[in-house]
Each structure stands twice: as structure tokens, then as C-alpha cells.
Amino acid sequence: MHDSGGRGPGDIGLPLGLRVALDRRTRRVDDGAVLLGGAPPRMLHLAPAARALLARGGEFTVTGPTERALARRLIDVGIAHPTGGAPGPGAAEVTVVVPVKDRAGGLARLRAALPAGVAVVVVDDGSADPAAIRAAAGDARVLRHAVSRGASASRNAGLAAATTTLVAFLDSDVVPEPGWLEPLLAAFADPAVGLAAPRIVGLAPISGWLGRYEAVHSSLDLGPDPALIVPRSRVAYVPSAAMLVRRDAAGAGFDEQMHVAEDVDLVLRMHAAGWRLRYVPAARVAHDHRTGLRAWWLRKCDYGTGAAPLSLRHKGSVPPMVLSPTSAAVAALTLVARPWAVPAAAAVGALAVERLAPKLRVRRPRVTAWRLVGLGAAGGVSQTADAVTRHYWPLSLAACLVSRRARRTVAAVALAEGALDWWQHRDRDARVRPQPLPHWLAHRLDDLAYGAGLWIGAVRHRTLAPLRPAGPSVRVGPNG
């Protein structure tokens, strides 16, 4: 087991001048007196002063103690995000660490994209042609492992060699886009931030059906919206292909015993230590995605195997599904697809509303309760449809072998979920327009690969932990 990382943040006061805006998913209730949103979701009641600050478009600037306290509260629960206004560290406070093995061309391409004034440490992880790596590294400092020890050990060697406040990890198959570093540095204006990560997009040119799928649906691309990185939330991890960390917050770095999901492990350890972690999609780094079918499928399978060791190290942090009893019941009734299932689901929802409404301190508790229950039920149905063809497809296959009804249900779910996935992701990258059928096929293969890896990992580690669903963490907050 790796150490828990650096100590949590000390002074967490936000700087004056910082601008803050509500997350676009945050919902206002009672004319803005109550906010719904965050990671994990919660209901936050605002004091009159806080409500007045948010009255003008949901944005405000930190100018004194009141704004500072409100901003800290909203940012720390993911209901709002910083949008600039306060200077972060400079590029001179960054060391870029690049682990590389036998990829001199990619390293040269990356070096050409890095800004001047940033220190660079290249760690050669046992390449067959070290001279080619040294030539591609240019004026960067080069460390070498005579025998390959893996990407985690290489990153850790670079982390140990760095003397700057911040360390950026960039893999040799990425190319930062112009202006990528400034938004990440701005996140560190908050002294409580220990890690900031950019959005990972596809590297041009993009071609082929798998290339177009990866451009809009890569496991590395966490979408266009900023987020607090929190376990069991919309952005629960960020990939180590590109991230910027506070050196003291990272501790000894990545667990060298893990050859997959080591980035998720680092994120979970830093979160547990109390550091705030931010996803900053305004910063963009392009990744040279695998598009050969065999290599692509095996890599997706590899990702799945990481769930088992993570679930043993960080219990409850990486469940395949997060469902309340009500959401689970509605989802199960939806899968039944019988005439009586619709009124039964409505009855389950109504019962949940009657139980929840008395606990809500809002003007129209039943309306708000229906809203919360409806959102939870929709999310439960979506997660269940995904799980049928992804996490639990071996069970779905077994059911199909013995039941005609199961075959119809699984076929309907696979068709509908794949079509909806294409619709939701079709415009995610303006450079490409994936066609429905190739996208559907790639999505199904993606799910089969990840699910296979998930079960392989569970068998290998002799645990059912990565297959167990979990309950939600919905909170009702005190006055802001």
C-alpha cells in the first residue's frame, strides 16, 4: 500500500478578486433561497446575505469576509466554480515530467509544444535506443531507468527530481494546445487546490470509425464542464496523461505496484487527505488515441481490471452504480416492461415523495420532492441500462441463454442505450461527426471490453467489491 500522500492544505482562505459562478447544473428553489446541486448532490439553504450576493446572475467576486466564506462553501461542495480574477502561480513554478519508453517521435512532438520558461524532466523508462530519447528531449534534463519500471515509477522519479512548487505530468503521446497551462495555474490561486487537470481531446488528424468514436467518447475526455473532482460524482477521477499537482500535496506520488488506475488511486488519496481537486476543461491537451481495433479493445479491458484493486484500497469509492432504493426499484420496474410496471413505478415514486417532502425546508416541499425523486429515478434508469451492457453483461448474457424475455429486454436496452449515447455525444468534438451505426458498434465493443476487464479483475483479486452497487450521498446543508 502506498502512503496517503502529502498533508492536507493549511490556510484555505481564498484570494481577494476571485470570481465565482454557479455551476450550470445547480438549480435554485424558493427564488434562490435554496440551491440544489454539487458533488455529491445536496440541498443548501442560503442566509439572506448569501442570497443577495447571488441575486445578480449567480456570480460574484470575493471582496471581503462574507464573499470569501460563501465562495469557499460553494466551491468546496461543487455548487459553484472559480472563473478567474485572482492570479495563480507563474510558469516558472512548474516542472513538466514526461515518462517515455521507445517513443522518441512523440517526445519530440511534445517538447515542441511546451512553453518556454518551464523546466522539463524526461524519464527514459528503459528505452531500447536511449540516444534517440536524449536527442528528442532537447535541453530537458533526462533521467534513465536501465530496466523498464513502469510509468508510475518514471513519474515518481521526475517528481522527486523537481524542485518547483508545481509539477505537471504529461505522457509522451499528448500534445498540449496553445494556452493550456494558464487555466490550470489559475486554479492554484486557491491554496487548498492540490491538483488541476485539463480536458483530454483527440489529436488531429482524426480518422476512421474508432477515431471518430474516441474523439467524442474517449475514457480520458471528461467533458466540457468544469467540476470538482470527487469520488462517486460526475467527475470522479482524472487521467495521469495530463495533470498538474502541487508537489507537497502529491506526497511520494503514484503507487508503483499499480500498472493501471494508478491515477485514480492518487486522486482518491489526495481527496482523502483534504486537498481540493479541480477539473479545468478550459485547458486542453490533445491525446494520440489508439485506433487499431485490437490495441484499443485491450486497453479498454485494461481499464476495467483497475476497479478491483481500487475497490479494495478505497472501499465504496468506485462502485459500478450509485442507486437509492427508490431509483433501483423504478429501474427494475422499467426493465420488467410489463403493463403494470408503469403504475407500480409511479406508486414507488409517490411513496418516496411522501417520505421526503416533510424533511425539506422549502416553500413547496412536494414539488421539490417530486423533482428530486424524478431526477434520481431518471439517473437510476440510465445507470441500469448502462450496467446491463457494460458492468454486468456476463450476467445479461447468461440470462439471454435461458430466457426469451431476457433476450428481448437486453436487445432493446442495447439498441436504445447505444442510440441515446450517440445523440448525447455526437456534437462533443466540432471536428468530427460520428455516424450512428459505427458509434453504436464502437460503444457496444467499449462496454464489452470494460466489463470483461471488470470481471477479470474481480476474479484475479478474489473480490466482489467492484461489482457491488452503492447508495447515494445526498446531503441537506445548513445555511450558507
Residue 145 lies in a domain: yes
Q: For the chain, which residues score pLDDT lower than 50?
A: 1, 476-480
**Residue at a domain's end among 84, 103, 119:** 84
Indicate the number of domains in the chain.
Answer: 3
pLDDT at 478: 46
Distance of CA 222 to the CA centre of its chain: 6
Q: Please indicate, yes or no, whether residues 364 and 445 belong to a single structural domain of this protein.
A: yes
In a domain, 239, yes or no: yes
Tell me, yes or no, whether 401 and 348 share the same domain: yes
Percent of the chain exceeding pLDDT 70 equals: 96
In a domain, residue 235? The reply is yes
Identify whether 222 is part of a domain: yes
Tens digit of pLDDT for each residue in 124-174? 999 999 999 999 999 999 999 999 999 999 999 999 999 999 999 999 999
Range of the domain at 371: 325-478
218/334 same-domain check: no
CB 199 within 8 A of CB 229: no
Q: Which of 54, 84, 114 is the last residue of a domain?
A: 84
CATH number for the domain spanning 176: value is 3.90.550.10
Say yes or no: 123 and 25 in one domain: no
Contacts of 444 (CB under 8 A, 6+ apart): 389, 414, 418
C-alpha cell at 111: 517538447
DSSP 322: B
User: CA 421, CA 440: separation in Å to the nearest integer?
Assistant: 8
Q: What is the pLDDT of residues 46-61, one digit of tens each?
A: 999 999 999 988 999 9
- Kindly state whether residue 391 falls inside one of the protein's structural domains: yes
pLDDT at 4: 53
Same domain for 232 and 105 = yes
Q: Of 291, 316, 333, which residue sits at a domain end?
A: 291
Are 367 and 315 a contacting pair, CB within 8 Å? no
348 plus 471 within the same structural domain:
yes
Look at residue 300 and tell me if it is in a domain. no
User: Cis bond leading into 205, ω under 30°?
Assistant: yes
Residues 345 and 209 in one domain: no
Cβ-contact 219, 300 below 8 angstroms: yes
Kindly state whether residues 79 and 162 are assigned to the same domain: no
Q: What is the pLDDT of residue 479?
A: 45
Q: What is the pLDDT of residue 3?
A: 57
How many residues are recorded in the chain? 480
What one-character DSSP code corresponds to residue 90?
Answer: -
Residue 296 resides in a domain: no
Q: Read out DSSP for 58-77?
A: TEEE--SHHHHHHHHHHHHT
In terms of domains, do 237 and 344 share one? no
Question: Look-up: residue for cell 485572482?
Answer: 86
Q: 298 in a domain, yes or no?
A: no
Question: Does residue 55 share a domain with residue 130?
Answer: no
Do residues 43 and 143 both lie within one domain? no
State whether 202 and 142 are in the same domain. yes
